[in-house]
Amino acid sequence: MKGVPESALLAARTLAAQGEAAPGRPRGPRALVCVVGTELWPALGVAAWVAPEQILLLRLARPPGDDGAPNLMEALARVCEISFDRIEQQWLEGEAEAALYGEVRDFLSRGKLDPARVVVDVSGADPLGRAAGALVAEAAGARLALLSGAEGEEQVRLLASPTRASGTDALARVREAFDGGRYADAEVRARELAGQLYEPREAEALASLAAGYGAWHRFDFEAAEAPLADFLELTRKHEGQGGWAWAAELRERVGENLEALRELRRVPERPARLEEGLPAILNHLAATHRAMTQVDLDDALLLLHGAVERWVDLVLRCEHALDPDDHAVIPLPDPEVEARFHALGEQLFEGYRPLPAQGPLLFRRAVQLLGALDADRITPGDLGWLQGLGHMRNALAHALVPTHPTAKLLQPKLGRVEAWFEGQLGEGALSRRLRRFTFPPLG
């Protein structure tokens, strides 16, 4: 069978020197796919320039004769200084374009290769093989290489893909919309893009993320679960083939979020234990952070106020067997608690009158009652920031002319609330548990 002449080996070494200085050559571990017809020399020249660590040879035609020269695999091993077991060779028959795609896809999957560091060379193929190889490189997310130039002046060119560049920009806009809290916009963009790309799976994965986290952001926990589970399944199957290594890093976080989401779905309407209702509180705090990041300060204030209010109600319900929504008079257990109740009332309300505790309990009345029943939960030092939070919320929700919060005023309130929750839950417990309810950034 026809081999590679010594002159080709010498020319390949010249291209190897060019490749070492080439700014466009992929950095780090590299792999090469060579689509080869009857001409063997171009594959050797490109391989010398790329200097791959592993090679897939896809042979479209069997060269005639045996001239005693080194065969292509031997020449590649010599020029690239790699062992034979790092070179695979497949002879393709029939519809070359379909077979090419299957072989390249399997090659990327087997080696868990990043397509951005894979080069597909079509220099030695006939016109049909070149076209098929170019389509395969596009679909796989790999770079396309071509050897060109007169004899003795050959150069390797890595060809840019206008389609992929456009897709990359569009994917960046999807991520930007997601991180800005425009989840519906991100989902629409991703689904439209998936319908335009030859390899749609990365866009489909982003669409699933946007759909899942968008539903979660709307507190529609049931609708959020399936898209996030779809993302995990899609990336498990296809991430290695699509050139989107970011998905592997994100998978663990999405898995944590999905478990937290399932906890949220199990929160009963009237929890009997603090632990049963705590996921809802943590979700409120995570949503507050999200709103602050997205500069949605009205929502941030309402969510922060809601987190504190719901926690106070939860403690009254679970630790003191009281229903904050009940209209009945609430008996206080002893004179000491009653005295503390009225003392707190005088600090919390202007023109306070010492009336019996009675539901339904609004924010300040619930704080007053819990502070009287459990001085460790709410201390006199907490009353100032609790009142301030209530005043800010009322000015936004109930004033004739709403007063909108500023980040300068709201950020210290968030810090004070979180410090209070750390005291309620135990040192370090809040930050550790809050992470599971925090959406990942995609930018």
Contact 46, 34 (CB under 8 A): yes
Strands 31-36 and 54-59: parallel
Which amino acid type is present at position 162? P
**Calpha distance 276→274 (Å, rounded):** 5
Contact 359, 326 (CB under 8 A): yes
Cα-based torsion angle of the residue sequence 92, 95, 101, 102 in order, rounded to the nearest 10 degrees:
-70
> What pLDDT is attached to residue 8?
61
DSSP 352-363: ---PPPBSS--H
Mean pLDDT of 93-108: 80
Question: What does the mean pLDDT of the chain come to?
Answer: 86
> What pLDDT is attached to residue 23?
53
Structure tokens at 392: 């800010």
Structure tokens at 17: 């020197």
DSSP 224: H
> What pLDDT is attached to residue 412?
94
Q: Which of 178, 425, 165 is nearest to 293 (CA)?
A: 178
Structure tokens at 8: 């080709």
Contact 39, 69 (CB under 8 A): no
Q: Which of 126, 123, 128 is nearest to 149 (CA)?
A: 123
> What pLDDT is attached to residue 161?
64
**Calpha distance 122→371 (Å, rounded):** 76
**Calpha distance 433→279 (Å, rounded):** 9
Cα-based torsion angle of the residue sequence 212, 209, 437, 214 in order, rounded to the nearest 10 degrees:
-50
Confidence of residue 328 (pLDDT cuts 50, 70, 90): confident
**Calpha distance 84→62 (Å, rounded):** 20
> What pLDDT is attached to residue 54?
93
Confidence of residue 1 (pLDDT cuts 50, 70, 90): very low
* pLDDT cut 70: percent of the chain above it: 87
Angle between helices 162-179 and 201-217 (to 10 degrees): 10
Strands 118-121 and 54-59: unpaired
Contact 253, 440 (CB under 8 A): yes
- Decide: helix, strand or coil at residue 246: helix
Say which residue the tokens 């936004």 belong to. Answer: 396
Q: What is the 3-state secondary structure (H, E, C) of 117-156?
A: HEEEECCCCCHHHHHHHHHHHHHHCCEEEEEECCCCCCEE
The widest CA-to-CA distance across the chain, in whole angstroms, is 109
89 pairs with which residues across the strands?
57
Structure tokens at 323: 């229903």
| Residue 65, pLDDT above cutoff 80 | no
**Calpha distance 240→107 (Å, rounded):** 10
Strands 143-148 and 31-36: unpaired
What are the start-end ranges of the H helices in 22-126?
41-50, 72-80, 96-111
Q: Which of 62-71, 104-113, 368-377 has the lowest mean pLDDT?
A: 62-71
> What pLDDT is attached to residue 151?
67
**Calpha distance 137→217 (Å, rounded):** 38
Q: What is the tens place of the pLDDT at every residue in 73-95? A: 888 888 888 898 899 988 887 66
Q: What is the tens place of the pLDDT at every residue in 213-241? A: 999 999 999 999 999 999 999 888 876 65
| Residue 315, pLDDT above cutoff 90 | yes
DSSP 440: P
More reliable by pLDDT, 204 or 64:
204
Contact 374, 315 (CB under 8 A): yes
| Residue 243, pLDDT above cutoff 80 | no
Contact 246, 440 (CB under 8 A): no
295: left (phi over 0), alpha (psi -120 to 50) or beta: left
Q: Which of 5-19, 247-261, 286-300, 382-396 has the lowest mean pLDDT?
A: 5-19
Q: What is the tens place of the pLDDT at every residue in 158-213? A: 776 666 555 677 888 999 999 999 999 999 999 988 877 767 888 899 999 999 99
Say which residue the tokens 């200084």 belong to. Answer: 81
Considering 94-98, 114-118, 364-368, the range whose residues carry the highest mean pLDDT is 364-368
More reliable by pLDDT, 196 or 441:
441
* pLDDT cut 90: percent of the chain above it: 48
| Residue 242, pLDDT above cutoff 60 | no
Burial pattern 23-42, b for ≥16 Cβ within 10 A else e, equals eebbeeebbbbbbbbeebbb
Q: What are phi and psi of 247, to 5 degrees?
A: -65, -35
| Residue 372, pLDDT above cutoff 80 | yes
Q: What are phi and psi of 18, to 5 degrees?
A: -65, -40
Q: In sequence order, what are the residues at sequence separation of 6 or more whose Cβ sits closer than 8 angstroms to the Cβ of residue 426?
A: none
